[in-house]
Amino acid sequence: METTLETAAPLSEAELARLDAYWRAANYLTVGQIYLLDNPLLREPLRPEHIKPRLLGHWGTSPGLSLLYAHLNRTIVARDLNAIYVTGPGHGGPAIVANTWLEGTYSELYPSVTRDEAGMARLFRQFSFPGGIPSHVAPEVPGSIHEGGELGYSLMHAYGAAFDNPDLLVACVIGDGEAETGPLAGSWLSNVFLNPARDGAVLPILHLNGYKIANPTVLDRIPRDDLLSMMRGYGYQPYLVEGDDPTTVHQLLAATLDRALDEIAAIQRHARTTGDTSRPRWPMIVLRTPKGWTGPSTVDGQQVEGTFRAHQVPVAQVRDNPEHLRQLEQWLRSYRPEELFDATGAPVADLAALPPTGDRRMSANPHTNGGVVLRDLVLPDFRDYAVPVDQPGASTAEAARVLGGWVRDVVRANPDRFRLLGPDEVASNRLGAAFEVTDRVFLGARYDSDDHLSPDGRVMEVLSEHLCQGWLEGYLLTGRHGIFTSYEAFIHIVDAMLNQHAKWLKVTRHIPWRRPIASLNYLLSSHVWRQDHNGFSHQDPGFIDHVVNKKAEVVRVYLPPDANTLLSTMDHCLRSRHYINVVVAGKQDAPNWLSMDEAVLHCRRGLGIWDWASTDNGQEPDVVLACAGDVPTLETLAAAELLRQHLPDLKVRVVNVVDLMRLQPESEHPHGLSDSQFDTVFTTDKPIIFAYHGYPWLIHRLTYRRTNHHNLHVRGYKEEGTTTTPFDMVMLNDLDRFHLVIDVIDRVPGLGTRAAHLRQAMVDARQRCRDHTRRHGEDAPEITEWRWTDSEAATNP
Ligand SMILES: Cc1ncc(C[n+]2csc(CCOP(=O)(O)OP(=O)(O)O)c2C)c(N)n1
Ligand SMILES: [Mg+2]
């Protein structure tokens, strides 16, 4: 199939002139934003005082972005498309701002930036200016779901937006530099997960302007045929639009967009009328135009247009160097602003008539303000999925599997707005019940021996944490819901993406026209303590530490200790808005501590005293045993029982923490406990032995201002691990029950000599259990068969 439409020239003279004028207007407004403080319409000769003192912004990518914007506008009107625009090179912020101003949205949302000369002056001044707007396609920019600051995620966001949006077209510009990133390189595979009947379309446009900041791009310097073959190999039908003569490129781009959109329409019609959902060959475009096109061709004798030198500000000494000033003025006037803007400074009527109107404008499309189109999930009552708990610890369950039953019914009740994503682990993370009602979406070849693969599945499994994260972000940003389940150790792979999403949430929270979206929910059930198959490489609980760095108004971390608390927690997370919720909970068989009623109350409190496990009986305790996480909770309760047996007059208070943010002061986090509440629970002067799921340091970080911090002693993961038994793992890190008892003996004043026998017994118990694992390859029965004994039963046998 041809990749270049050689002779096509679909635009009439008038259409061509209008498109070109629109493009020139956007370019003029882009340069104006980068340079001008005043004199926006060049009504007088440009003088140094009209120029910004600090020239900040990115010109190089901008003409390409605006060219595509203008052409997409033409097709939206011609075909009445429901389209949005994702800009990979988000550093081209001024280009997108320019286009949103031209189509009126900018002034509607920011009324002081009017579409006239005064408004244009404000538009220019505010860009990359203190107190103004950021340089990128940031959340402040109408129509943006993708800031493009950190490169690599455009195409996955685009696909995420298209899933379950059958009428939506997502045009996605990918920088050729961006295309070198790992996440973007993986993103081409997304078309294997896009169902042409159920989902919308993505039109990838590789912006092959040849350069990054200081280097050529790889994809521009491999043979063109290899690049096109690579795109074909990924299953796309590539079309090449190449040139540096505007008229030729306008005609070719218009013809190519028409061809691509015809193909998309045909693919969708075919799938939707015949029910054939085999994987189609979607079109994509390679746009090969000069970087910094229409800008200064040489500056100080060096070529700029068409090179990496056009990346940021191509003429930089404008205030001090009269030649540079002259060059800038010539550059601005080359767009002939007098033809583009009327006497008031508004775009002339012919230009204003080019873009679509109302919600059809890419900058006003409601899908780009996800909260506007967000519909609540239909959530089955999680209480109906409770495991019965008459006695704490008397029964066991796999918490994640219990949750799976509820998740299955969430999937069933929300067939158009909920996705479950994971890198190949949904079943191994015990959420396999979902496959009773759905499959894994997959449009590649399928065999009878496959397990629950189909084009209609609502579970998304791809071995790329980046893709799971990016698809889910795109899905959430366009008003839908989801859960991402992953290994605790490997979720670090998306640390950087989480940063960007957290920034987006923080900023949009304070933009009045942006509406809250559904939270990004992580369920990490293959956690550090139970990597029995895998060992050290799979042991890292540090994602929590990373998340806690983010703005308190955005992040939540939950460590439900058992099945019922996990159900209650996930229900809360799926109802919440505009957060990042991290839930760490086990998938292995473990004791059930709380009945559903108790679990709901405990989760609502976030942390609380477990009366039934404590022996302080309404008095001041001698020691507080605190715990967070399922495995530390188990070890803490076992330690509490040992203390009850061997030191019956020691007053022990057991505190469990589900919501980690409760530990922070209320001034630091909205969930924070007040100091007086904290002091009541944790005392002001008694030792606290805190068994924590992750790296111990985090608990100190969260509590360092509390009165009793100097008495806080935290056990957690200290980077000791290997492939061994679960109890050996906790012993390796001194988090085991015996060591917790030792910690109590060593820290409660006066206990040392009295409890010397017990201390020695605990040291011996550790050795005994260690030896057992070495001899038998499994944990000792005293560990595996241990059950919590109810204290009443213990005292009245
Ligand atoms: C992940 C990441 N690494 C590095 C950068 C710094 N950076 C900003 S723009 C740019 C070059 C981008 O080139 P390309 O994607 O080709 O965009 P364009 O040529 O359209 O400007 C780089 C390396 C970044 N923003 N993100
Ligand atoms: Mg480039």
Name the nearest CA neighbour of 29 among 294, 316, 307, 350: 294
What is the pLDDT at residue 1? 62
Please give the span between the terminal C-alpha atoms of the chain, in angstroms, as a whole number. Answer: 84
How are beta strands 418-422 and 481-487 bridged, if at all? parallel
d(CA 364, CA 83): 10
Residue 797 has pLDDT above 80, yes or no: no
What is the pLDDT at residue 490? 95
pTM value > 0.95: yes
482 CA from centroid of ligand 1 (Å): 30
Render the burial of 223-256: b for 16+ CB within 10 Å, e for the rest.
Answer: ebeebbeebeebbbbbbbbebeebeebbbbbbbb
Q: By the 8 A CB rule, do 555 and 582 touch?
A: yes
d(CA 22, CA 517): 34
Q: In whole angstroms, what separates CA 239 from the centre of its chain?
A: 31
Residue 643 has pLDDT above 60, yes or no: yes
Q: What mean pLDDT do residues 685-710 have?
A: 97
What is the pLDDT at residue 616? 95
Work out the angle between the directed axes of helices 246-274 and 13-35 (0-180°, nearest 10): 110
What is the pLDDT at residue 197? 97
Specify the ligand 1 atom closest to the Cα of 179: 15
Summarised one tens digit per residue, pLDDT across range 176-190 is 999 999 999 999 999
What is the pLDDT at residue 792? 60
630 CA from centroid of ligand 2 (Å): 48
How are beta strands 520-526 and 580-584 bridged, if at all? parallel
Residue 635 dihedral angles phi and psi, to the nearest 5°: -65, -35
d(CA 292, CA 67): 12
Band the pLDDT of 44: cuts 50, 70, 90: very high
77 CA from centroid of ligand 2 (Å): 29
Q: In whole angstroms, what separates CA 770 from the centre of its chain?
A: 42
Best of 213, 215, 304 for a ligand 1 pocket test (most atoms within 8 Å of beta carbon):
213
Summarised one tens digit per residue, pLDDT across range 212-235 is 999 999 999 999 999 999 999 999
Q: What mean pLDDT do residues 621-648 have?
A: 98
Report the SS3 class of residue 678: helix
Burial label for 569, CB within 10 Å (0-12, 13-18, 19+), is buried
Band the pLDDT of 796: cuts 50, 70, 90: very low
What is the pLDDT at residue 224? 97
What is the pLDDT at residue 526? 86
Specify the ligand 1 atom closest to the Cα of 58: 21
Q: What mean pLDDT do residues 21-39 have?
A: 98
Count other Cβ atoms within 10 Å, centred on residue 667: 10
Name the nearest CA neighbour of 152 among 509, 423, 499: 499
d(CA 176, CA 197): 30
d(CA 478, CA 371): 7
750: left (phi over 0), alpha (psi -120 to 50) or beta: left
Q: What angle do CA 339, 343, 347 make, to 5 degrees?
A: 55
Residues with CB under 5 A from ligand 2 (ion): 175-177, 209
Lowest-pLDDT choice from 78-82, 107-111, 587-591, 658-662: 587-591
d(CA 354, CA 340): 13
Q: What Å distances lie between residue 615 and 123, 392, 699, 747, CA to CA?
A: 67, 15, 24, 18
What is the pLDDT at residue 252? 97
Report percent pLDDT > 90 for the chain.
93
287 CA from centroid of ligand 1 (Å): 17
Specify the ligand 1 atom closest to the Cα of 91: 9
Q: Which DSSP string do the residues of 539-572 spell out, in sequence order?
A: ---THHHHHHTS-TTTEEEE---SHHHHHHHHHH
What is the pLDDT of the chain when averaged over all its residues?
A: 96
What is the pLDDT at residue 428? 83
What is the pLDDT at residue 791? 65
Residue 623 dihedral angles phi and psi, to the nearest 5°: -155, 145
Summarised one tens digit per residue, pLDDT across range 91-106 is 999 999 999 999 999 9
Q: What mean pLDDT do residues 472-499 have?
A: 97
Summarised one tens digit per residue, pLDDT across range 430-442 is 899 999 999 999 9
Q: What Å distances lie between residue 262 and 4, 241, 266, 378, 592, CA to CA?
A: 16, 17, 6, 37, 58
Residue where the block lists tokens 């070198």: 180
Summarised one tens digit per residue, pLDDT across range 746-795 is 999 999 889 999 999 999 999 999 999 999 999 999 999 999 997 665 44
Residue 647 has pLDDT above 90, yes or no: yes
d(CA 309, CA 64): 16
